[in-house]
Amino acid sequence: MLFIFFPSFLYYAFLVFFLHSFIMLFIFLPSFFYYVFLYLYVYHATRIKIKVLCFIF
């Protein structure tokens, strides 16, 4: 009985883990892209401002 139950238990645990990670990926991936975009935007904006300030001064 245990040998029949145990692989199915592993299968269900893997399925739950996979679904959980998939859902977490869907939740965290847009925010991750948003933070990367924000970081790149701020980085490039500050670089352009520093170039403009160096050009002015």
C-alpha 21/C-alpha 13 separation (Å) is: 12
Each residue's pLDDT tens digit, 1-42? 556 666 777 788 888 888 888 887 777 777 778 888 888 888
> Whole-model pTM above 0.75?
no
* 14-to-5, 22, 24, 33, 42 alpha-carbon distances in Å: 14, 12, 15, 27, 40
Classify residue 8 by burial, with Cβ atoms within 10 Å: 0-12, 13-18, 19+: exposed
